[in-house]
Amino acid sequence: MSLPGRPEGDYRNAPHEGSPVSAAPAAGIAGRIAGTVRADIRELAAYPVANAEGCIKLDAMECPYELPEAVREDIARAVRDTPLNRYPAADLSALEQAVKAAFGVPDAADVLFGNGSDELIHIIVQACCNPGDAVLSPWPSFVYFDMAARFDHARFIGVPLTTDLTLDLPAMLAAIREHQPKVVFLAVPNNPTGGLWSDEDVQAIIATAPGLVVLDEAYQPFADRTWMPQVLDAPNVVVMRTVSKIGLAGLRFGYLAGHPAWIAELNKVRPPYNLDVLTQATLSAVLRHKPVLDEQAARLRADRGPLAAALAQLPGVRVFPSAGNFVLARFSGKLDGNAVHLALKTRKILIRNFSNAHPLLADCLRISVGAPAENAALLSALQEILSA
Ligand SMILES: *Cc1c(COP(=O)(O)O)cnc(C)c1O
C-alpha cells in the first residue's frame, strides 16, 4: 500500500547527511531485519494517514468545528499552570470523577484511561489473551481490532456481516461457540458501515460469549442508544468510549468503564504514565464546557440525515443507514468506487475508500459528516463527477 504524502523509501533509504551510505551495511541491515522482525509485521504497511493540506477533510470522522475562544483560553491557562518536570500523578481520581460525571458512567463502575481507545484495545488483548487465543468481531468493523489482536499474538476472527451490512447473529453465535473467544469487540454503532446492532442481538452475544465483551461506543454521541447505564448488569461487559469523534481527536484520550474488578485487572497492563499531564490538564478544562461538545455532536447528527438523503438521490448510489457521524455509500453507476474516490481527491476532497478493503465493501466509500459548506462542496462535486 502506498502512503499518500510519504513516498516509499523516503525515510528508510535517506542517506545521513555527510555520511554516504554504502551498499554493504544496507544489505546487512536488510538481512538482520529479515532475521529479526516478525514476518507478518514486515509484510504490513504502516497505518495510512493521507496528507490533507488544503483539502476538505471528510475521511477520518473528525469534528469539523474548532473549540470556541473561551474554551481555548481555559485550556491555555490550564496548560500554562501544568508543571512538566514531574511525572503524571499516581492518583487520577479527580479526573476520573469528572469523566464519570460528564459521560454518565454509573457511580459503582470504575474507569481506565488510555492514550486514545487504540491503546485500550491493546491493553484488553494483552491482559486477556495467551498467544493464539481468539479475539472475535463482526466484520468488516474497526480495523484496529484485527491489527491489535495480531500485534499481541492473538488470533483474530472476523465474522462476516450480511450483504446488507447488518449483523449476522446466527453466524456470530456459532463462531463464538466454535472459537470460544477471550474477547469480543462490538462497535456500536459499527465503523465503517454505520449500523447499530439491535439490543436483542447484543444481549444474545453477551449471554453466549465465554469471555469479555467490549462495547466500543466511539460513535455513541451520534446514536440514540448507549449501554453505559447497563455496564454492570452482565458479568462480562465493559464499555469503551473516546473523545476523538466529538471534537478532540488531537488529544488522544479514550476511557473504559466497567466493574471495578475488571478495571483492576486491565489496569495492571496499562503502561505507567500513559496519560500525559498536558492531556489531563486539557481534558479537565474542556470538560468544564461539556455542553459545547454536546452541541457540536448534535449539529453533526442533524446534518447526517440530509447528507445521506442527498447522496441517495445521486444516480447509482446506495446509502447504508448510519448512526454515526459518517455515512457509507456504494457507487455502482457509470463510475465505480475507486474512480469516484480518485475524482474527489483530484478536487481536493478527501473521503475514505473501502472499495478494495473487503468483498462486502466493494465500491463503498465512507464520508464523514462535515460542516455545512463542506457537505455542500462534496455533493456538488459528486453531482458533477457522476453526470460527466
Ligand atoms: C475511531 C475509532 C476508535 C478510535 O479511537 P481513538 O480514541 O481515536 O483511538 C475506536 N473505535 C472505533 C470503532 C473507531 O471508529
pLDDT digits 0-9 by tens, 361-377 = 999 999 999 999 999 99
Q: Is the CB of 185 under 6 A from ligand 1?
A: no
Mean pLDDT check: name the lowest of 24-38, 99-113, 327-341: 24-38
Domain boundaries, the chain: 56-63+291-387, 83-288
* Confidence grade of residue 388 (pLDDT, cut at 50, 70, 90): confident
Work out the percent of the chain whose per-residue pLDDT is above 70: 93
Distance CA 23, CA 25 (A): 6
* pLDDT exceeds cutoff 70 at 103: yes
| Residue 44, pLDDT score | 86
Cα(35) to centroid(ligand 1), Å: 33
The rounded distance, in Å, linking the Cα atoms of 72 and 68 is 6
pTM of the model: 0.92
Query: Does the CB atom of residue 142 touch ligand 1 within 6 A?
Result: yes
The amino acid occupying position 314 is L
Q: What average pLDDT does this structure show over 71-100? A: 96
Which is it for strands 317-319 and 326-331: parallel, antiparallel or unpaired?
Answer: antiparallel
pLDDT at 72 over 60: yes
Same fold, 56-63+291-387 and 83-288: no
Whole-number Å distance, alpha carbon 21 to ligand 1 midpoint, is 40
Cβ of 116 closer than 6 Å to ligand 1, yes or no, is: yes
Q: Does residue 315 have a cis bond before it (omega within 30 degrees)?
A: no
Measured in Å, residue 315 CA sits from the centre of ligand 1 at 32
Rounded-to-integer distance, Cα 84 and Cα 101, Å? 27
More confident residue, 388 or 128: 128
The phi and psi torsions of 104 (rounded to 5 degrees) equal 70, 35
pLDDT value at 13 more than 50: no
**Ligand 1 binding pocket includes 115 (Cβ within 6 Å):** no
Query: Per mean pLDDT, which range of 29-33, 158-162, 346-350, 378-382 is the poorest?
Result: 29-33
What is the structure's pLDDT at 22?
A: 61
Q: Is the CB of 363 under 6 A from ligand 1?
A: no
Q: In CATH, what is the architecture of 56-63+291-387?
A: Alpha-Beta Complex (3.90)
Of ligand 1's atoms, which has the minimum distance to the CA of residue 254? 7
Instruction: Note whether 170 and 158 are within 8 A (CB).
Output: no
Asked whether 191 lines ligand 1 (CB < 6 A), one says yes
Other CB atoms within 10 Å distance of the CB of residue 18: 5
Q: What is the mean pLDDT of the chain?
A: 93
Q: How many helices (H) and strands (E) does the chain have?
A: 13, 13
**If pLDDT is split at 50, 70 and 90, which confidence band does 58 have?**
very high
C-alpha cell at 144: 484496529
Q: Where are the beta strands (DSSP E) in the chain?
A: 56-57, 110-114, 134-139, 155-160, 183-187, 212-216, 237-242, 254-258, 317-319, 326-331, 349-350, 352-353, 364-368
- Per-residue pLDDT, averaged over 256-272, amounts to 97
| Closest ligand 1 atom, residue 324 Cα | 15
Q: Is the pLDDT of residue 19 over 60?
A: no
**Is the domain 83-288 a CATH 3.40.50.2000 member?**
no
Q: For residues 330 and 362, is the Cβ–Cβ distance under 8 A? A: yes
Question: What is the reported pLDDT for 79?
Answer: 97
Q: What's the pLDDT score for residue 1?
A: 35
Write out the three cell numbers for 338: 475507486
Q: In this predicted model, what pLDDT tens digit does every residue of 290-337 receive, in sequence order?
A: 999 999 999 999 999 999 999 999 999 999 999 999 999 999 988 999
Q: What is the DSSP string of 146-207?
A: HHHHHHTT-EEEEEEPPTTS---HHHHHHHHHHH--SEEEEESS-TTT-----HHHHHHHHH
Task: Report which of 142, 233, 123 is spatially closest to residue 187, judged by C-alpha positions.
Answer: 142
Cβ–Cβ < 8 Å for 181, 136: yes
C-alpha–C-alpha distance, residues 200 and 85, integer Å: 51
Instruction: Indicate whether 230 pLDDT > 60.
Output: yes
Whether the predicted pLDDT of 190 surpasses 70: yes
DSSP secondary structure, 25-75, as one string? HHHHHHHHHHHHS-HHHHTPPPPP----TTSEE-SS---SPPPPHHHHHHH
In this predicted structure, what is the pLDDT of residue 49? Answer: 76
More confident residue, 133 or 12: 133
Average pLDDT over residues 10-17: 39
Rounded to whole angstroms, the Cα distance separating 24 from 238 reads 52
Distance 118 CA to ligand 1 centre (A): 6
Question: 118: Cβ below 6 Å to ligand 1?
Answer: yes
Ligand 1 centroid distance, CA of 32 (Å): 34
Q: How far is CA 304 from CA 63, 318, 324, in A?
A: 13, 15, 8
- Position 299 scores a pLDDT of 98
Nearest protein CA to atom 2 of ligand 1, as residue: 218
Q: What percent of the chain has pLDDT over 90?
A: 88
The response to whether residue 368 sits with its C-beta less than 6 Å from ligand 1 reads no
pLDDT of 310 reads 98
pLDDT value at 178 more than 90: yes
- pLDDT tens digits, 76-90: 999 999 999 999 998
Where is average pLDDT lowest: 88-92, 174-178, 218-222, 283-287?
88-92
Amino acid at 126: Q
Contacts of 381 by beta carbon, 8 Å cutoff, 6+ apart: 343, 344, 347, 349
Residue type, 198: S
More confident residue, 120 or 47: 120
- pLDDT band of residue 51 (cuts 50, 70, 90) is confident
Determine if ligand 1 sits within 6 Å of the CB of residue 303.
no
Rg (the chain; Cα; Å): 22
Give the Cβ contact number of residue 255 at 10 Å: 23
Which distant-in-sequence residues (6+ apart) come within 8 Å of 320 by Cβ? 164, 165, 193, 194, 195, 327, 328, 329, 330
Exposed/middle/buried for residue 147 (C-beta within 10 Å: 0-12, 13-18, 19+): middle
6 falls in which pLDDT band (50, 70, 90)?
very low
Cβ–ligand 1 distance for 242 under 6 Å, the answer yes
137 lines ligand 1 (CB under 6 A): no
Q: What is the pLDDT of residue 94?
A: 96
Determine the pLDDT at residue 46.
78
